[in-house]
Structure 1
Amino acid sequence: MGDKLATRSGQLEPEEFEKFRLFLKDACGISLSENKQYLVTTRIRRILADNQLDSLTQLVEQMQRSRHSRLRTEVIDAMTTNETFWFRDTYPFEYLKQTIFPELQNQKGAIGPLRIWSAACSSGQEPYSISMTAEEYRRINMGVLPRPVEIVATDLSSAMLEQCKSGEYDKMSVVRGLARERLDSFFDKLNNETWRVKPAIRERVQFKALNLMDPFIGIGRFDLIFCRNVLIYFSAELKEDILRRMHAVLKPGGILVLGSSEGLAGAGDLFEMVHCNPGIMYRAR
């Protein structure tokens, strides 16, 4: 009983916190720092109560019995769910519309759709923002897209992916980074509390479950990859490994977009810097 009370108060025993840290790193690559005890207790408290478990130690032991258990999935979802918002940082989407789309849409010899990967898409704002940007580009070009745009959005969290597929967002979500004109143009209002992304925007996006630690098999090759604000949670070795595997699925000259506080780790030899003024992207060598 003492363990349960300690966990609920936010004071974890070092040994059980270390066991949980090792589990999370093995399961999805996230490296929790020592000061994340409160985050763990906040996100795991309900799961312990629902499963009548007294401690993190018991939780880890139960999850380790099966790599495909419902409990394991629930814990990973709880620890990897992050808030995001529409058109985050602005410049990647403006540069996409003003420079990258014109370049790739009119690329000589290019055949097939223009393919974009939104990695670790969380609750879907990023891939839908990309699709809205494609629609804005289409509208300013007399309604024409020489190459259709396909967006593959992946995330580790199965709960997030189900939410993404519905395309439905509440009032608090739609006000975060979304201009009124875009809300009116790209969403249907279902009621006073809920909006749904219009079908034309949703249809460009395909959502798939993917752990960035696993091989990128079956997702194809891409003209552009967005992988923002997720690499900061991984070790230096795993960051480099992920970036090298992303380079392998980028087409020659393809573009990689990282978060504003993220860099290329040890994979700098594979990319050249592209200055967006403001902001930076990376072109595959």
Structure 2
Amino acid sequence: MKSEITPQDYEAFQAFLQDACGILLGSNKQYLVRSRLRRILEEYRLDSLGGLLRSLNRPGSGPLRERVIDAMTTNETLWFRDDHPFRILSEKLLPEFAARNNPMNPLRIWSAACSTGQEPYSIAMAVEEYRRLRLGQLRDVRITATDISRSVLAIARRGEYDMIAISRGLAPERQQAFFIPSASGSWQISANIKRMVEFRELNLLDGFAFGKLDVVFCRNVLIYFSAALKKDILTRIHATLNPGGYLVLGASESLNGLPELYEMVQCHPGIIYRKR
């Protein structure tokens, strides 16, 4: 980006990003915009943010729009991130659902904003560990994992990770139990874990059309949205949950209201929310 970002162009880009995917870009993030969009501007031979905005408004700009949203979306992710949500899943939620679950009904879990797949595959590993210790329980578990970015979903669907990605939060015991080494030096998620997860493209601004759910992991994504959009998404998540279903948020996130929809459940450590 050769020219400086003007206040007018920055405000217009803030509006574009919020309208496109809900991300609320702060007033002092010009450096972030510059660094994340630099490669795209070079590729499209654009010298300013204003030029990019004009290109985004032209017919047939869908691929460029997708690239820009992808670049501005934070894809930081780890295996078993923060640990305690997965211990809560293993020690509280899975036993609870096993006790009350009709064997004819699958246990359905949604991982929202799943990035390159570490969270849903971590959920699947926790489920498989539980099942190995309790044969016959929770035979049918279906995990739906969604993200707005096609590029990260392509990585997630492949389920193949290099050692740098593997080392970020994955215990060696789980690596040996649930991954297969490949000739290239990467590691492939095992078929029984992969089969549990279905990946779909989804913008959280849009409707959730995948039926009723028992557990929703919506972690470290609401922090990027306005208060009004957070409330809207949390209300729509509530509508997707079965009675007694649970919502799991990120460590720095909270409901900040909606007591009529969710009941806080203290898990020591960690907090989750049960549908009222």
Q: Settle same-fold status: TM greater than 0.5.
A: yes
Q: CA deviation at 1:265?
A: 3.4
Hey, what does 1:160 align to over in structure 2?
A: 152
Separation (CA, whole Å) in 1 of partners of 2:169 and 2:122? 10
State percent identity of aligned pairs. 53
Deviation of 1:192 after TM superposition, in Å, equals 6.0
**Which residue in 1 is equivalent to 2:128?**
135
Q: Distance in 1 between matches of 2:2 and 2:101?
A: 65
Question: How large is the RMSD of aligned CA atoms in angstroms?
Answer: 1.4
State the Cα distance separating 1:223 from its structure 2 match. Answer: 0.3
1:98 is matched with 91
1:88 aligned counterpart, secondary structure: coil
Paired residues, number: 276
SS of residue in 2 equivalent to 1:106: helix
Residue 24 (str. 1) matches residue 21 (str. 2): no
Structure 1: gaps spanning 5 or more residues = none
Structure-2 change in CA distance of 1:248 and 1:54 (3 Å)? same
Distance 1:284 1:110 in 2: 22
Q: Distance in 1 between matches of 2:131 and 2:61?
A: 43
Native 8 Å contact 1:239 1:265 kept in 2: no
- TM-score, length of structure 1 as denominator length: 0.93
Report the CA distance shift for 1:222/1:195 in structure 2 as closer, same or farther (over 3 A).
same
- Contact 2:103 / 2:138 at 8 angstroms: preserved in 1? no
- 1:146 CA drift (Å): 3.7
- 1:123 corresponds to 2:116: yes
1:78 to 61, 71, 88: 71
1:169 aligns with 2:169: no
2:251 is equivalent to residue 254 of structure 1? no
Q: Distance in 1 between matches of 2:207 and 2:184?
A: 43
Letter matched to residue 152 of structure 2: M
Is 1:37 aligned with 2:34? no
**Which contiguous aligned blocks of 4+ residues in structure 1 show a shift greater than 6 angstroms?**
none
Give the drift of 1:65. Answer: 2.6
Residues 81 and 157 of structure 1 are in contact (CA less than 8 Å); yes or no, is this contact kept in structure 2? no
Tell me how far 1:5 sits from its aligned partner.
1.6
Counterpart of 1:95 in 2: which secondary structure? Answer: helix
* 1:68 Cα deviation after fit: 6.3
Conserved? CA contact 1:119–1:153, under 8 Å: yes
Q: Could you tell me how far apart the structure 2 residues matched to 1:125 and 1:112 are?
A: 26
- Structure 2: how far apart are the matches of 1:45 and 1:92? 36
CA distance in 1, matches of 2:26, 2:49: 16
Q: 1:178 aligns with which of 166, 170, 189?
A: 170
In structure 2, the partner of 1:60 is: 53
